[in-house]
Amino acid sequence: MSDEMDTRVAGSSWIPDAGGDRDPERPGTSDGAGSAGEDGDVGEEELERLFEAETSEGDQELALVGETDEIELLIERGAVLRLPEDAAVAVDPAGAGGAADAHFGDGETMIINLGPQHPSTHGVLRVMLELQGETVLRSKPVVGYLHTGMEKTAEELTYVQGATNVTRMDYLSPLNNELAWSLAVEKLLDVELPARATWIRMLMSELNRISSHVMWAATNGMDLASTTMMIFGFREREMILSFFEKTTGLRMNHNYIRPGGVAADLPDGWEDDVSVIVDTIAGRLDEYDELLTGQPIFRERTEGVGIIGPDLALAMSATGPILRAAGVPWDLRKSIPYLAYDEVDFDVIVGTVGDTFDRYAVRLNEVRESIRIVRQVVEKMPGGDYKVQDKKITPPPRARIDESMEALIHHFKLYTRGFEPPAGEVYASIESPRGELGCYIVSNGSNKPYRMHWRGPSFVNLQSVPALLRGSLLADAIAILSSVDPVLGEVDR
């Protein structure tokens, strides 16, 4: 990581002068929803005319400006405000909030909803798109359809039960969720793990990364009309899920990585299972290359589509493949190593252009790097305990409960009351397949977290969507949305 990058970011020109040319009429929030975007050159009549515009499909169910309440207007227009690009300001003479987009001619725009029920939104993501013909101008992801209050729920669950809760957030990489949770709780407890527990976690985390990325390749293929890719991806993922089932008992939502170690040791013969899996997938990746990477149609649809530069990606807090495809070599496994990632050899994959194809290539090659890591883990797996031998934190073996009164008491206390970490606040972050997955825990010294907050990479990465979509075609919007790889279970929590 060079210093030049930081300088570039600090000097990037999209950041508005504090207070300088910003409009004092900007929708302040302290005075309610405010007068959104009524400023600038676009008059009220002009706006009304714009929103009355009908298409051949009839009225798009947008009410007249006068009849739309202010909050709704903010949502409909807000996206331009949140495009911190030079371009956004340059083509928008009305300044932030103007509805017309001078760059795109006569201002005959149409707003359509993509989702929440749409196969390409990978869940219940709704994106409002403002279209000029087939070109996307503004867009706004609307989330919350899957909000189940997991952060509130966590305040009612003990630290032992917490892993069961968090594993359901990012359902494509449940083990990484558990890992972030466990690392945060262990940081709070200040316990050191046995080496084997660390390496088992690394193995499972990398296998999970592979399964998540091939799953992404599958759905991405489906979005780009390659059903073969979909079948391929699901096929490869199934192998890994079978291994997970053998190891953890469950295909998903494993509750396997727990504070203090892992739930059980690896099954006998796991080396062979894992080797077969990674050898097979390594070969299949070459099939992916034949099917997609070199295929003209796929490249046409992905190259030069949805470009985001490093400065903007960093400013938008984007992480994971989006950031790396933009050329920033930032991977927490390498940069701030956790577990034993500093003891294995792997490369951080970066792109050059930051387009949809780069994000595809980064993920595909990250699978190859994960395979490298898995092979080294198989080679170097240390012996010893798979969990901390502190009976206040991890349960005794099942057989001991029949023999030892003390073991029975420990078991009972752990599962009814759990343990009580010292009061304090910790933030632990890992590199999940989607980016930086962070867990912030506030403890008040009781057996339940006082507050649990998740920094979900999908939630944060979705902010880049308006920047990625701007100026692209509607058909490309599907490819771009897919390349962001949001998991709505984690976005909405």
Partner 1 sequence: MVDESVPGAAAPLGGAAPRPLAAELAELADVPTAFFRGDEVVFCARERYVAVVSALKDAGFVTCSDLCAVDYLTHMDRALPPAVVGERFEIVVNLLSHSRRRYVRVRVQVPADDAVVPTLFYLYPGVENMEREAYDLFGIVFTDHPDMTRILMPQDWEGHPLRKDYGVGRVPVQFKEAPGPR
Binding site for partner 1 (CB under 8 A): 1-3, 5-6, 9-10, 15-16, 18, 26-30, 33, 71, 74-75, 78, 81-82, 84, 96, 143-144, 147, 149, 151-152, 156, 187-188, 190, 192, 314-318, 328, 330, 335-336, 422-427, 429, 436, 438, 440, 442, 444, 450-451, 453, 455, 459-460, 462-463, 492-493
Cβ 462 to partner 1 shortest distance, Å = 7
With respect to partner 1, which residue has the nearer C-beta, 171 or 450?
450
With respect to partner 1, which residue has the nearer C-beta, 46 or 155?
155
Cβ atoms < 10 Å from Cβ of 132? 18
The rounded radius of gyration (Å) of the Cα atoms in the chain is 25
> Residue 288's closest CA among 301, 298, 278, 279?
298
With respect to partner 1, which residue has the nearer C-beta, 60 or 317?
317
**Type of residue found at 488:** L
List Cβ neighbours of 345 (8 Å cut-off, separation of 6 or more): 372, 376
What's the rounded Cα separation, in Å, for the pair 127 and 129? Answer: 6
With respect to partner 1, which residue has the nearer C-beta, 413 or 453?
453
With respect to partner 1, which residue has the nearer C-beta, 3 or 290?
3
